Structure 1
Amino acid sequence: MSSPSRTPADLHIEKRDLKFGREDPPARWWHSGDPGRTAFFNALSSTFPVGERFFMTAVRYYRDDTAQPLRGQIDDFLYQESMHTREHVVFNRQAQDAGYDIAPLEDRARRTIGWVKRRSPLQQLAATCALEHYTATLAHDALANPEHLGGAAPEARRMWQWHAIEEVEHKAVAFDTFLHATRHMTPMRRWLKRSLVMCVTTVRFHYVIFRNTADLLRQDGLNDFATWRSLLRYLYGRPGTMRMLLRGAFTYMRPGFHPWEIDDRALIVTSLAQLEAGQAA
């Protein structure tokens, strides 16, 4: 039931300083002209600045106790997450400029993170692992299936694509840090801790994201059955963003799981080429 690190020895986590949407902010319903899809991704983005700062704090706590190559990967992780925070602050400000009140959404995310921060450093790290697995799962599917972001405004799509690439790149950093921090635990105790934290995280994640989505739809006067039916078909049917996320949660709770048991670096290469082609255009 042990979970030894399976991170590729030649993994490269690149430090990129890219900026998006400064010149051409997206329309109010920037995703396919659809209020539901736009609300879902805006709701997700509203949680990222406070969430990613929390991830950085949780992982940084253990940095000085680790050895190479993990210590260097933690430094690269911290850099990438700081860039994600900066770009989602800009993205959230653009949603405000489009007429949305984002403050209640950010407050909800802040209260949830505040609740987690009252736990031990190890509990905070375990929560970070769970949420990083969520973002990596969403990232993989967003890159592998164009339907997830199909119809999105080009610059917004590029921002989400870039974020997804880097989430896949560093998907095991928090997990490997957790393995290091729990190296003296029995495999059973380690597995129980990360699985129980994943269960709690799953419930709270769904609550925050769907409450935030409902808040935004309410501001559009579209928090109704028809809008939610269309959105839930998108999220749990095809392409199934949240359906894939739930499947990923069960995968995470399997004994012996490691994020790099699926080596999707080829997907990163392909997606980077698409992103660079978009930049050239």
Structure 2
Amino acid sequence: MIKKITPRSIHFHYKDSYPKYWFDNDIVKTYHANVLAAYIPYTEKFIINCVKAYRTKIKDPQLQSDVKAFIQQESYHTREHFKFLNKIVLPHYPKLKVTRYKFFILLILTIVSGKKVRLAMTAAGEHFTSVISDLFLSSPELFEGIDPTLAEFWRWHFIEEIEHKAVTFDLLKEAKCGYFVRAYGFVLATLFYISGMLRPYLQMAYKDKLLLSPSFYFKSINYFWGNPGIMRKCFIPYIRFLKPNFHPWQVHNDHLIDKWLKASEIINKSPTAKS
């Protein structure tokens, strides 16, 4: 288990321009990463606000320290994801939108359900990001065909997502949120994720005139559910969140942090990289 969460304020520097399909010259891989880049910074703002609502009520000193470091990490992620979005994605898809939310029923449910449910949503969201982070860091081949700086950007994010994966869950327990609240938050977070990710994915397909292309849908289904099957491989680990006795550190994957910290030139140059 991680003993210390280390915020690493790394400023990534990019080339003047990148190709539209910057991820292995592959449409589906690029769309997936672009959607994450567009969705993550807004989600992290939501997460930070949900966590801050409970920050003054934490009694455990270790959890107080972890929450402080967690907020710093997520703030750095937000900053760098907006930079990535503006530099890599929006030059090719300037009208890409994730903030105009059409599924008002989910938005209303999130507001009226209260801050405990919103905290449960953050715990579920952090669990999902740790699951997908584990997948990518465990499978270096998934980074093939990507510019080294862009690969380092994503590895940095994935490392820290694993590092702080239990913070919001522990805060959920500190706030005395029961199993029903946790499960309800999980369902809401999942629906938000699906609806929020699908819209920009299809927006890019529309711009590239692929909405009527059977091969595009075949490639998409294959990437997410076939081979390599990103979502297929994440599904079982993701729904483990619903086990009554679940805790994020039941999966001991902190070795991935050590492995990639040692291998990363960009992260190791940062004065805050030492953990």
TM-score (norm 2): 0.88
Tell me, yes or no, if the aligned pair for 1:26 and 1:155 is still in contact at 8 Å: no
Displacement, 1:264?
A: 1.1
Q: What value does the CA root-mean-square deviation take over the aligned residues?
A: 2.3
Whether 1:19 aligns to 2:11 is: yes
SS at match of 2:256: helix
* Residues 243 and 124 (structure 1), Cα distance of their counterparts in 2 relative to 1, 3 Å cut: same
- What are the equivalent positions in structure 2 for 1:1-281 lying under 5 Å apart? 8=1, 11-66=3-58, 67-108=60-101, 115=108, 116-182=110-176, 190-223=178-211, 224-276=213-265
| Cα distance between partner residues in 2 of 1:45 and 1:16 | 19
| Cα distance between partner residues in 2 of 1:176 and 1:110 | 30
| Cα distance between partner residues in 1 of 2:208 and 2:268 | 32
Q: Deviations over 1:236-274 (max 9, x none)?
A: 123322123322232111110000011211111001122
Tell me, yes or no, if the aligned pair for 1:96 and 1:102 is still in contact at 8 Å: no
Percent of aligned positions that are identical = 27
Displacement, 1:230?
A: 1.1
* 1:4 match: none
Structure 2 unpaired stretches of 5+: 270-275
Displacement, 1:77?
A: 0.3
Structure 1 unpaired stretches of 5+: 1-7
Alignment size in residue pairs: 266
* Residues 98 and 129 (structure 1), Cα distance of their counterparts in 2 relative to 1, 3 Å cut: same
Tell me, yes or no, if the aligned pair for 2:31 and 2:204 is still in contact at 8 Å: yes
SS at match of 2:97: helix
| Cα distance between partner residues in 1 of 2:17 and 2:103 | 26
**Which consecutive aligned stretches of 4+ in structure 1 deviate over 3 angstroms post-superposition?**
21-26, 108-115, 277-280
SS at match of 2:61: coil
Corresponding letter in the other structure for 1:249? Y
Corresponding letter in the other structure for 1:107? R
* Residues 109 and 148 (structure 1), Cα distance of their counterparts in 2 relative to 1, 3 Å cut: farther
| Cα distance between partner residues in 2 of 1:244 and 1:109 | 29
Displacement, 1:279?
A: 7.0
Tell me, yes or no, if the aligned pair for 1:20 and 1:87 is still in contact at 8 Å: yes
Displacement, 1:102?
A: 4.5
